[in-house]
């Protein structure tokens, strides 16, 4: 059987590929030119210090939200989250520290509960102590072991770790 050549279809597909390539390159060039110019005007009503603070606040809040969404009920995930949150706290403005500290305390409480279940009492006691210290720093009054474990249980049972 003889092969049928479709020059019209081949030309059309080639044209589509060329068009898509040019559109993508044009989009990338426009982003490089337009976006920085627009971004410089976003905070034009604020002075440089306030604009920088607002950007830092937004970046820290976004990083915090991402780290909260990536938590699962495993010790390695919780430890990674604690490391990420400590890094976020170091770079975050001071007004975000209580929010990050509360999340850290919840993570430490969950780690303590998981370690209690695996009979690692030394590590569990250390994590309970850290959770209690952080909760006191954000103003919690009742920080008994029962309250910490109830908090940990609620967090471990919840699919959302906010």
One domain for residues 86 and 26 = no
60-66: list long-range contacts, CB under 8 Å, 24+ apart. 60/88, 60/91, 60/92, 60/93, 60/96, 61/96, 63/88, 64/88, 64/92, 64/96, 64/99, 64/100, 64/103
pLDDT beyond 70 at 31: yes
- pLDDT grade for 162, boundaries at 50, 70 and 90: low
Does the residue 144 lie in any domain?
A: yes
The CB density around residue 123, as the number of other CB atoms within 10 Å, is 15
Per-residue pLDDT of 82-104, as tens digits, reads 999 999 999 899 999 999 999 99
pLDDT (0 to 100) of residue 73: 84
Does the residue 118 lie in any domain?
A: yes
pLDDT (0 to 100) of residue 135: 92
Angle, to 10 degrees, between the axis of helix 145-157 and the axis of helix 121-137? 90
DSSP assigned state of 142:
-
- Is 107:64 a contact under the CB 8 Å cutoff? no
Does the residue 2 lie in any domain?
A: no
pLDDT (0 to 100) of residue 132: 92
pLDDT (0 to 100) of residue 136: 92
- Backbone torsion region of residue 139, taken as left when φ is above 0, otherwise alpha when ψ lies between -120 and 50, otherwise beta: left
Residue range(s) defining the domain that contains residue 116: 48-157
Does the residue 26 lie in any domain?
A: yes
Does the residue 130 lie in any domain?
A: yes
pLDDT beyond 80 at 7: no
Q: Which of 31-35, 54-58, 93-97 has the highest mean pLDDT?
A: 93-97
Greatest extent of the chain over all pairs of C-alpha atoms, in Å? 86
- Is 64:102 a contact under the CB 8 Å cutoff? no
One domain for residues 151 and 116 = yes
Provide the domain count of the chain: 2
pTM score, whole prediction = 0.68
Question: Average pLDDT for residues 118-122, to the nearest whole number?
Answer: 85
């Amino acid at each position: 059987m003889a092969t049928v050549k479709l020059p019209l279809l081949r030309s059309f597909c080639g044209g589509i590929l060329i068009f898509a390539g040019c559109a993508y390159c044009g989009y990338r060039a426009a982003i490089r030119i337009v976006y920085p110019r627009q971004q410089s005007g976003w905070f034009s009503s604020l002075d440089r210090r306030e604009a920088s603070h607002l950007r830092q606040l937004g970046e820290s809040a976004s990083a915090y939200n991402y780290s909260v969404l990536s938590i699962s009920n495993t010790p390695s995930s919780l430890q990674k989250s604690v490391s990420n949150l400590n890094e976020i706290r170091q770079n975050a403005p001071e007004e975000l520290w209580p929010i990050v500290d509360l999340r850290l305390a919840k993570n430490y409480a969950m780690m303590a509960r998981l370690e209690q279940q695996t009979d690692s009492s030394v590590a569990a006691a250390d994590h309970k102590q850290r959770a209690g210290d952080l909760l006191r720093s954000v103003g919690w009054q009742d920080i008994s072991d029962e309250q910490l474990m109830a908090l940990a249980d609620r967090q471990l049972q919840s699919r959302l770790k906010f």
